[in-house]
Amino acid sequence: MNSYEYLLSDINTIKGIGNKTAKLFKKKNINTIFDLLWNLPKDFTDRTDLVKVNELQIGKVQTLMIDVKKYSFPRIRNLPNKVLCEDSTGKIECIFFNSYEGYIKKILPINTKVTISGKIGYYKNKYQIVNPTHISSDSNSIKKIFSRYSLTEGLKEKKYHKIITDVLKKIPDLNEWHSKKILKFFNNISWKESILELHNPKNVKKKGYFLDRLIFDEIMSTFLINSALRRKIKKIKKNKKIFDTKYFNKIKNKIDFNLTLDQLRALDEINADLKSNEKMFRLLQGDVGSGKTIVALISSVNVIKSGYQVALMVPTEILAKQIYEIAKKILDKSENISILTSKTKYHERKVIKSDLINNKINLLIGTHSLFQEKIKFYKLGLAIIDEQHKFGVKQRKMLSDKGGKDCDVLVMSATPIPRTMIMTIFGDMDTSIIKNKPVGRKEIKTYSKIDTKINEVISFVKKQIKNENQVFWVCPLIEESKKIDHQSAILRYESLKKIFNHKVGLLHGELDKEKKNKILLKFLNKEISILVSTTVIEVGIDFPNANLIIIENANKFGLSQLHQLRGRVGRGSRDAYCILMYKKNLSINARKRIKILKESNDGFKISENDMKLRGYGDLLGFKQSGLKSFRLADPVLNEDLFLMAEKEIKRIENEKENLDKYLPLLKLYDRADILNDLV
Ligand code: ADP
Ligand code: MG
């Protein structure tokens, strides 16, 4: 047995753990010995410092050395026995419920010096310790740090301690997997030393290197997998795409703006990938409204011109429709574009499928249903996935497999996450970032309003409409139930209709495709001024004339989601506004979210704050990203360690270091299977 394999043995192989106890552990996700070691103490009772009576702090566990002075044993039921003690600075009473006199006299002999430890109380002008558990005439036997674990219900602290103490004794010495340089950074502390120290610290206040070393291990285990994946992808050789950039100039004339420098750079990077014989696996990141669509479409044209088909996948039908309209403008008349969604009728679907396999469709725009269907392309050369966070790694991989080796993959994300997160979640991809938005964009002025002041909001809406602006009105997400959400949208629609008549439209997920499209077109053509909707408008849709968004019950939404919703306005050049409405009794967190939005339009900052408030794991469904969540590492707090890991990975890649020595690390952190799973 390799030494690390011992660590992976089932928890029930530990002596003293029977089936019943093992079950309790497993309930807490502690399945192996390694899991048990991971479960670091949540707290410590530090009995190392001796204090004097006049330094005692009520409520804290403290240790002090005292003289035993006087017993008081009342012979009345229910009254506790007391022992008065003192040191040179004051008095303290030890209180015993349900203890025999003989026992008390034995542990606290009168007129001796004794060390006691316990939680300090204060009663009738006197310090006291009730039922002190740690009493000894030898002060050294008490002066210890006592680790506290979050215990599984039904498991006594004493038993847990016995188990963990036994296990700690048996930890094997593992061969070091880190390079000398890295190790030196952590003061040459091994994995084992870190674990031992963190479970039984010599000094509670100095976790420093020990914890950092474990965090770094965890980050590396993820990054190594990403790196291996990336290397495997790079090894896939494809046919280069050959296209002429003269089409690019043609397209430039078809759009009424100049591409930003960031857009041009992203295009250069994508083109270089397309033209190379390595398969592209690239992430295009840019905040909402930064202009990713046009980059995707120009890339599509290049691929079509080189004789391949393109699949573009978006999260909603509405968005598919909108991109379809833009694509029609940009592609040549001779090139065929189709839309396929879950709502596409059977007959139409059949035609599309046969056209695809016969190379009669050049660009297919669709929703998730592109995955589910047995859809075959004649020659798929590029798969583009918009708003990827709704897709997991495995789904990304599935799509790229569809086109075989010649299919390049471009994933677009409007979730501006910190670099440490990109490295973690998209570490298997190359990245292009659109940092700056098109010039002339204004900050979206953001206000909050309590819902009782809806009349003020309505006057503001009136003013906007008078100036020929358009308004999104997002209805409350009352409950998880979609049905109720729709109802609330309908109610709001009806009340607004009384004020604004035919200028109001309603959009919700239950409407059929035709009705939806009709309303969207009406809004686009400015036949209606207010679009009341549930969150179906959340992603990607572009209405340059809309400059006000009202979000009811804003407190029910997450920070990043609010930022995305807000991004639906402010795409034109006029002043844009967002009004966050809330009900009274806002929670502290909701208050914080609203404040952050009011203060910033910067998606990166917002997502970072979102992570601080909610924890990175919850961020927009990244849980399903296929990578296991970290237990210790935090992409915000441990940025420096992430950056260091990134550097180390580059070194490993450059020196083509053999990964074998990292195998124990990957096995321990349960990452090794991901490799087999994905490639
Ligand atoms: P997102 O990155 O959120 O997908 P879009 O691609 O939908 O953003 O673009 C948002 C809006 O910005 C669209 O109306 C688009 O036409 C416009 N746009 C894109 N690029 C530019 C540019 N370089 N200059 C001006 N407007 C642009
Ligand atoms: Mg978009």
Residue finishing a domain among 434, 466, 482: 434
CB atoms within 10 A of CB 126: 14
State which of 434, 457, 472 marks the end of a domain.
Answer: 434
Give one DSSP letter per residue of 318-377, joined into a string: HHHHHHHHHHHHHS-TTS-EEEE-TTS-HHHHHHHHHHHHTT--SEEEE-THHHHS----
Instruction: Determine if ligand 1 sits within 6 Å of the CB of residue 286.
Output: yes
Tokens at 199, concatenated: 């479970």
Per-residue pLDDT at 333 exceeds 60: yes
291 lines ligand 1 (CB under 6 A): yes
Nearest atom, ligand 1, residue 286 CA: 2
User: 409 forms bridges with which residues in the sheet?
Assistant: 281, 383
Taking alpha carbons only, the member of 410, 417, 426 closest to residue 292 is 410
Give domain status of residue 29, yes or no.
no
Same domain, 475 and 537: yes
Are 108 and 184 in a shared domain?
Answer: no
Which residue among 294, 321, 568 has the greatest number of ligand 1 atoms within 8 angstroms of its CB, and so is best to mutate? 294
294 CA from centroid of ligand 1 (Å): 7
Residues 207 and 261 in one domain: no
pLDDT tens-digit map of 625-676: 444 568 888 887 888 999 999 999 999 989 988 888 898 898 888 766 655 6
Same domain, 473 and 345: no
The pLDDT of 390-402, averaged and rounded, is: 65
Structure tokens at 394: 């495995």
Cα-Cα-Cα-Cα dihedral sign, residues 147, 148, 149, 152: positive
Report DSSP letters for 11-23, one per residue: GGGSTT--HHHHH
Q: What is the Å distance from ligand 2's center to 236 Cα?
A: 29
What is the number of alpha carbons within 13 Å of residue 232 lying toward its C-beta? 14
Does residue 289 line the site of ligand 1, with CB under 6 A?
A: yes
Centre of ligand 1 from the C-alpha of residue 369, in Å? 26
Only one residue has tokens 């035993």, namely 68
* C-beta of 298 in contact with ligand 1 (< 6 A): no
Position in ligand 1 atom list of the atom nearest CA 386: 4
Q: What is the pLDDT of residues 584-641, one digit of tens each?
A: 888 888 888 899 999 988 887 887 787 777 766 555 444 444 445 688 888 878 889 9
Distance of CA 659 to the CA centre of its chain: 28
Residue 319: inside a domain: yes
Domain match, 137 and 259 both = no
- Nearest-CA residue for atom 23 of ligand 1: 259
Please identify, among 411, 434, 457, the residue that sits at the C-terminal boundary of a domain. 434
> Is residue 453 very low, low, confident or very high in pLDDT (cuts 50, 70, 90)?
very high
**Ligand 1 atom 4: the closest Cα is on which residue?**
292
Out of 251, 255, 256, 257, mutate this one to test ligand 1's pocket (max ligand atoms within 8 Å of CB): namely 257
Q: How far apart are CA 224 and CA 579, in angstroms?
A: 45
Ligand 1: which of 542, 543, 545, 568 to mutate, judged by most atoms within 8 Å of the beta carbon? 542
Residues 675 and 532 in one domain: no
CA distance 465 to 605: 32
Maximum Cα–Cα distance for the chain, whole Å?
104
Q: Which of 404, 400, 377, 373 is nearest to 388 (CA)?
A: 400
Q: Decide whether any atom of ligand 1 lies within 6 Å of the 241 Cβ.
A: no
CA of 389 to the centre of ligand 2 (A): 12
Residue 34 inside a domain? The answer is no
Average pLDDT, the chain: 85
Residues 120 and 78 placed together within one structural domain of the fold? yes
Answer for the pair 52, 88: CB distance below 8 angstroms, yes or no.
yes
Q: Quick check: CB of 292 below 6 Å from ligand 1?
A: yes
Is residue 100, in this structure, part of any structural domain at all? yes
Task: Give the separation between CA 514 and CA 320, rounded to whole angstroms.
Answer: 14
Distances in whole angstroms, Cα of residue 335 to Cα of each of 310, 360, 381, 442, 550: 11, 9, 15, 36, 40
What angle do the packed helices 292-305 and 261-275 form, to 10 degrees?
30
pLDDT band, residue 278 (cuts 50/70/90) = very high
The beta-strand segments (E) located in 368-419 are 380-385, 408-413
Residue pair 285/607 in contact (Cβ under 8 Å)? The answer is no
Closest to 478 in 3D by CA, of 577, 547, 552: 552
Residue-range definition of the domain harbouring residue 73 = 48-143
Q: What residues contact 106, with CB distance under 8 A and at least 6 apart?
A: none
pLDDT tens for 534-575 read 876 555 567 888 999 999 988 888 887 888 889 888 877 788
Q: How far apart are CA 155 and CA 18, in angstroms?
A: 12
Question: Which ligand is the nearest neighbour of the Cα of 259?
Answer: 1
In this prediction, residue 625 carries a pLDDT of 47
Domain-embedded: residue 561 = yes
Q: Is the pLDDT of residue 2 over 70?
A: no
DSSP string covering 248-294:
HHHHHHHSSSPPPHHHHHHHHHHHHHHHSSBPPEEEEEE-TTS-HHH
Nearest CA to ligand 1 atom 12: 291
Q: Which of the four pLDDT bands, split at 50, 70 and 90, describes residue 48?
A: confident
d(C-alpha 269, C-alpha 299), whole Å: 10
Taking the CA atoms of 63, 68, 70 and 71 in sequence, report the sign of the dihedral they define.
Answer: positive
Task: Return the SS3 of 608.
Answer: helix
Does residue 180 surpass a pLDDT of 90?
yes
Total-model pTM: 0.72
Residues 180 and 104 in one domain: no
Which token pair is 317? 């039908």
| pLDDT tens-place string over residues 105-159 | 988 999 998 888 888 999 888 899 988 877 777 666 666 777 878 776 777 777 8
**Sign for the pseudo-dihedral over CA of 529, 535, 541, 544:** positive
Mark whether 452 and 416 lie in a shared domain.
Answer: no
Residue 362 CB–ligand 1 contact under 6 Å = no
- Same-domain pairing of 383 and 412: yes
Q: How far is the CA of 290 from the centre of ligand 1 (A)?
A: 6
pLDDT digits (tens, 9 = 90+) for 279-310: 998 999 988 788 999 999 999 999 999 999 99
- As a whole number of Å, the end-to-end CA separation of the chain is 28
Q: Is residue 512 part of a domain?
A: yes
Does 627 map to a domain?
no
Alpha helices in 525-602 (DSSP H): 559-566, 588-599
- Tell me if 252 CB under 6 Å of ligand 1: no
Mean pLDDT value across residues 192-221: 86
Whether residue 455 lies inside any domain: the answer is yes
What is the secondary structure of 172-215 as a DSSP string? PPPPP-S-HHHHHHTTT--HHHHHHHHHS-S-TT--HHHHHHHH
Unique residue bearing structure tokens 């606290």: 108
**What CATH number did the domain enclosing 269 receive?**
3.40.50.300
> Does residue 540 line the site of ligand 1, with CB under 6 A?
yes
Ligand nearest to the backbone CA of 544: 1
Task: List CB contacts of 641: < 8 A, sequence separation 6 or more.
Answer: 212, 215, 216, 219, 633
Would you say the CB of residue 507 lies under 6 angstroms from ligand 1?
Answer: no
Q: For residue 137, give the CATH number of its domain.
A: 2.40.50.140
How many domains are there within the chain? 4
Q: Are residues 311 and 211 in the same domain?
A: no
Same-domain pairing of 410 and 274? yes
The residues with which 114 forms a beta bridge, in sequence order, are 66
